Amino acid sequence: MDELDYKALEQIPIPEGLEERLSAKIDEWEKEEKKAKRRVLRPTFLRYTAVAASIALVFGLGYHLLSQDKYTNLAEQDTYQDPMMAQLEAQRALTLLAANLNKGMGHLEKAKALSDKTEKRLNEQLNLLKRYETDHH
């Protein structure tokens, strides 16, 4: 089979509509490839959006809690007259800040896990598509 017998190949009948079916299949593959390329951008975009949203949530919540009336009233009082009271107030504020940061980090971890899962599924689909293309070429 090293040498092709072109005359024998020309004698093989070509099924009717083969060219149209091949053309349609190639167009379908091109559309799938374009969709796959668009999907690649989403996990990266989601990851950055999740990080930005978590940071905004933490800072917004901290600002809101620190700007409430009970905190402004305590700030107006002279807590520095009593060092123990000042220490307790500082510890309470730091504990509140730590709790809010931990909540934000929890949301960030959930978003990262979702992003990683999505990226893994996308890579699996892309690998299947590559295998399909190599098997059918």
User: Per-residue pLDDT for 85 more than 60?
Assistant: yes
Q: Is residue 70 part of a domain?
A: yes
For residue 26, is it within any domain?
A: no
Is residue 77 domain-resident? yes
* Amino acid, single-letter form, for residue 11: Q
**Span 3-61, pLDDT tens digits:** 667 777 777 777 788 788 888 988 888 888 877 766 655 667 777 888 888 888 888 88
Q: Could you list the residue range(s) of the whole structural domain that residue 64 is in?
A: 42-135
Whether 130 is covered by a domain: the verdict is yes
For the whole prediction, is pTM greater than 0.75? no
Indicate the number of domains in the chain.
1
Structure tokens at 117: 């899962």
Q: Mean pLDDT score of the chain, rounded to an integer?
A: 79
Q: Would the pLDDT of 99 be above 80?
A: yes
Q: Using one digit for the tens of pLDDT, what is the confidence trace for 40-54?
A: 556 677 778 888 888
- Asked whether residue 4 is assigned to any structural domain, the reply reads no
Query: Would you say 65 and 100 are in contact if contact means Cβ atoms under 8 Å apart?
Result: yes
* Residue 27, in any domain of the structure: no
For residue 12, tell me if it sits in a domain. no
pLDDT at 1 over 50: no
pLDDT > 50? residue 122: yes
Asked if the model's pLDDT at residue 115 lies above 80, the reply is: yes
Least confident range of 1-5, 15-19, 99-103, 105-109: 1-5
- Give pLDDT, residue 41: 58
| Cα distances (angstroms) measured from residue 131 to each of 70, 87, 135, 137 | 63, 64, 6, 10
Tokens of 83: 């060092």
How would you label 94-119 residue by residue, b for 16+ Cβ within 10 Å and e otherwise?
eeeeeebeeebeeebeebeeebeeeb
Q: Looking at the chain, how many residues does it have?
A: 137
d(CA 13, CA 57): 68
Sign of the alpha-carbon dihedral angle for 64, 65, 71, 75: negative
What is the mean predicted confidence (pLDDT) over 85-112?
86
Q: What is the pLDDT of residue 3?
A: 64
Q: Is residue 48 part of a domain?
A: yes
Write out the two tokens for 132: 């399909």
